[in-house]
Amino acid sequence: MRSIVVLGLISSVLTVPALAQQPEPNPGESTTAMVSPPPPPNPLQDKYLHGLRTASRGVAQIKDGINRVVRTRSSHDTLQVRQAAKRLGGLCSAARGFITSGRGQMEPTAYEPPTRQPAKDLVSQLDSLAVSVKTCQVSAGKTPTAVTTELLGRLRNYEAAVATFRTAIGLPNRP
């Protein structure tokens, strides 16, 4: 019996210094430093996000076409510029399909009022981009500089709307 008491006393003495060495939190320091992740999306929100991914494929095609025109414009080779302009028109045609298909799935009413406005703004920017893409299909081969300038402005507005939307739903913005 005496050995059990001695072992209990030794174990309590050994654990007390280990507990005493742990730093105590400062009173001004928050113990809830971890921010909770956003709640999982409901089915309508999933559909909206899926539509955004589809539309983003079209936006990537437009960016690719614009980059081709800008790169060839610096080379001063008229044949390459013409080919890049025609390619831009073709990419705009393909992009329009992705944008309109994705846009059809994006219903801003899937989100509650604080987040609904950024969702509406994003849809509005996609609609604006779809109209510009239609113009791009027709006139990119003839006036590539004017078309790329217009598309770049629309793309800047679209990117700003995406960043605002991502912030509103609690996702980090990509650089």
Taking residue 3's Cβ as centre, other Cβ atoms within 10 Å add up to 7
Structure tokens at 173: 């913005």
Structure tokens at 121: 């703004």
Question: pLDDT tens digit string along 55-88?
Answer: 999 999 999 999 999 999 888 788 998 999 999 9
Question: Region 89-110: what's the mean pLDDT?
Answer: 94
pTM for this prediction? 0.74
